[in-house]
Amino acid sequence: MAMPLESPISFTNVGKIRWWQRGIFASQTGYVLLALAVLLVIMHFASPYFFSQGNMQNVAKNFSFIAIATLGITFVIITGGIDLSVGSMMCFSAMITSMVMTELSAPGSPLVHMAADGKTVLANVPGLILLISILAGLGVALIAGLVNGFCIAVLGLSPFVTTLGMLSIVRGLGYVVSNGRGSFPGGPDADYFYALTSGDVLGVPSPFIYLMILALAMAVVLHHTSFGRHVFALGGNEKAAELTGIPVVRVKIEVYVICALAAGLQGIIVSGWLGSAPANMATSYELNVIAAAVIGGANLAGGIGGPLGAIVGCVLLEVIRNGLVLAQVSSYWQQTLVGVIIILAVLVDRVRSRMT
Amino acid sequence: MTKADATPVLELTGIGKEFGAIRALHDVDLQVWPGEVVGLMGDNGAGKSTLVKIIAGNFRPTHGEMRFAGSEVHFNRPVDARAVGIEVVYQDLALADNLTAAANVFLGRELKRRFGPIALLDHKAMASRALELFGELRSETRPDDLVRQMSGGQRQAVAIARTRLSNARLVMMDEPTAAISVRQVEQVLGLIHRLKEQGVAVMLISHRMPDVFAVCDRVVVMRRGEKRADKSIHQTSPEEVTALITGAKEAA
């Protein structure tokens, strides 16, 4: 019912929050972005090679290799959950994709025929094998995500334990299906596969392009759809979300599915760059992915996070790695430094929120 | 303050609830009329919360009948109660403090604009409607501020504005004045008056005698799962209500 306002509200007691105290300026993402900018300037003076085109392409490609999975896990982290099965999922999806591709490309498969020379295998429909195998890879990720989501949202198991179990299950399945040998994308569509995963468009690496598209889509979903709003509400106050009639179970299952799909896609892309999907691929990547998300400002307690933060976190990690290499520092220092940065980033945010 | 000509917005007849061998509620009759503020009082364990949860659809009653605006209703979930026009303002307010005031008001029923197959949030419409609601409640609350940065009174306003969104006909408030400052208590009681002015029935569950006597038209006292008193506020006194709550006086 629209009641006429006798008088518009006047804000006599309630001050307006200043622009620098709200939005990105008051977020950890903002501070880390600033730190990243400073770091880039330092790198520029420290090494003449840093801003060379080749190195920039390298950096862009390398951080894209964990950034898509980081986008996915950011959804989960915003709801206050965690997904430890990301690394295993990357490996398993990549493995299934290349195994299905090889299988469908074997002589005798209905999708291929032999060329006139009797040795070369040709695809009946170019690209179809590639499509089916990528869908197969994403399909197993979908199933794992559904199982995670079901256990957490419906059965009420803790996200940490459920996904720790899934980490082991999926890694184990990877060894089972491959017998520990790893697999290679093969057949007539393998060239398309490599072009899509490790090629570039006008000098821009294709993983980076996928990342940008997905990050934009994620920004729209998080801030301009009711699903995104519900994801934030779930992380802010789960009980409130439930009482206001948000379909909590469905939203939870959806975020774990999104996370698993992102990890699967990431794994498939990485395997294109590696040229194979070894059974120990992406081992312990879940830690890099979670570290990147947390550095970028996603709050493990839930309620805060976004695509910009996820990307900034990944870029920061990669720039540090790259910088240490260019500065000829032993690469063993990298992990130590990453740990320090995780703690610093969270610490700075804590100090800031104490001050206001 | 019964009105013979109107139908009560809520009418409970012989409501009872058992949890196993424990009888939490027994044979409660209660009527609430439009635009009336009813105080529901009782000590801990008297059955207030059970009664509220039955009306809000959290529990199903074991016995008895519930009529809303004249027709019989059965709620399986809180959403069912909300669908007919019963809103609850919970003690902890059920707000997501990482979201803005407007986002909280519209949580679970966001306004959207369709762009072909995609429906995107209509931020502008939600903010202006929320501002309107805060205006009605005379609360100085900005729709775009985060709930985390708000005072207790503003939070109450957000929680109450949420009930105004759906044109609720009965609003139940669980201890709205329990944990806030004196000035904010005044604001909340003011908010209850606004609801009353607009013809909304309010059930105020409270331990605080002064608040109940300040805003309520009628007070209902529960003890040991039974309704012990149901009196107009002018025909009783804080002393009598206290006696009824503690059991010094059996019934009135």
Is A237 close to B96, i.e. CB distance below 8 A? yes
| Beta-bridge partners for A183 | A277
pLDDT at A272 over 60: yes
- Give the model's pLDDT for residue A145: 95
Residues of B in contact with A1 (CB under 8 A): 167, 198
Is B135 close to A303, i.e. CB distance below 8 A? no
Check if the beta carbon of residue B152 is closer than 8 Å to that of residue B191: no
Q: Give the mean pLDDT of B77-97.
A: 83
Residues of B in contact with A232 (CB under 8 A): 96, 98-99, 103
In chain B, whose CA is at the least distance from the CA of A221? Answer: B120
Q: Give the mean pLDDT of B16-20.
A: 87
Rounded Cα distance between B68 and B66, Å, is 7
Q: Give the mean pLDDT of B84-90.
A: 86
Residues of B in contact with A13 (CB under 8 A): 140
* pLDDT confidence band for A74 (50 / 70 / 90): very high
Helix residue ranges per DSSP H, chain B: 48-56, 78-84, 101-105, 123-136, 152-165, 182-197, 209-215, 238-246
pLDDT at A136 over 80: yes
Is A229 close to B78, i.e. CB distance below 8 A? no
> How far off is chain A from B99, nearest CA to CA, in Å?
7
> How far off is chain A from B35, nearest CA to CA, in Å?
15
Cα distances (angstroms) measured from residue A222 to each of B30, B89, B99, B229, B230: 45, 27, 12, 51, 50
* pLDDT confidence band for A355 (50 / 70 / 90): low
> How far off is chain A from B97, nearest CA to CA, in Å?
6
* pLDDT confidence band for A92 (50 / 70 / 90): very high
Look at A73-82, A148-157, A326-335 and tell me which has the smallest mean pLDDT: A326-335
Residues of A in contact with B119 (CB under 8 A): 225-226
The residue that leads in pLDDT, B102 or A339, is: B102
| Residue of B79, B91, B99, B124 best to disrupt the A interface, most CBs of A under 10 A | B99
- Give the model's pLDDT for residue B47: 85
- Give the model's pLDDT for residue A118: 67
* pLDDT confidence band for A313 (50 / 70 / 90): very high
Q: Give the mean pLDDT of A255-279.
A: 92
Rounded Cα distance between A302 and B49, Å, is 30
pLDDT at A6 over 50: no
**What average pLDDT does the structure give for chain A?**
85
Q: A294: which 2 tokens?
A: 């947390």
Residues of A in contact with B99 (CB under 8 A): 229, 232-233, 236
- Give the model's pLDDT for residue A127: 80
- Give the model's pLDDT for residue B161: 86
pLDDT at A35 over 90: no
Q: Give the mean pLDDT of B75-85.
A: 84
The residue that leads in pLDDT, A260 or B135, is: A260
A219's enclosing H/E stretch is: helix A206-224
Of A9, A229, A237, the CB nearest to B140: A9
> How far off is chain A from B142, nearest CA to CA, in Å?
8
Nearest Cα neighbor of A292 from A91, A83, A67, A84 is: A67
> Tokens 């699967």 sit at which residue?
A264
Nearest Cα neighbor of A67 from A307, A261, A275, A346 is: A307
Is B99 close to A232, i.e. CB distance below 8 A? yes
> How far off is chain A from B179, nearest CA to CA, in Å?
18
**Cβ atoms within 10 Å of A72's Cβ, excluding its own:** 32
**Global pTM?**
0.85
Residues of A in contact with B94 (CB under 8 A): 237, 239-240, 243-244
- Give the model's pLDDT for residue A2: 41
pLDDT at B64 over 70: yes
b/e map B93-121, b = 16+ CB within 10 Å: bbbbbbbbbbbbbbbbbbbbeeeeeebbb
So what's the ipTM on this one? 0.80
* pLDDT confidence band for A19 (50 / 70 / 90): low
Rounded Cα distance between B35 and B248, Å, is 32
Contact with chain B for residue A12, Cβ under 8 A: yes
- Give the model's pLDDT for residue A341: 83
Q: Give the mean pLDDT of A21-36.
A: 78
Rounded Cα distance between A90 and A268, Å, is 7
In single-letter form, the type of residue at position A185 comes to P
Q: Give the mean pLDDT of B6-15.
A: 86
> How far off is chain B from A353, nearest CA to CA, in Å?
11
- Give the model's pLDDT for residue A106: 78
Rounded Cα distance between A232 and A223, Å, is 9
Look at A21-30, A58-67, A151-160, A258-267 and tell me which has the smallest mean pLDDT: A21-30
Q: Give the mean pLDDT of A117-140.
A: 83
Is B142 close to A14, i.e. CB distance below 8 A? yes
- Give the model's pLDDT for residue A108: 73
- Give the model's pLDDT for residue A4: 43
Residues of B in contact with A355 (CB under 8 A): none
* pLDDT confidence band for A7 (50 / 70 / 90): very low
- Give the model's pLDDT for residue B185: 80
| Residue of B82, B92, B107 best to disrupt the A interface, most CBs of A under 10 A | B107
- Give the model's pLDDT for residue B231: 87
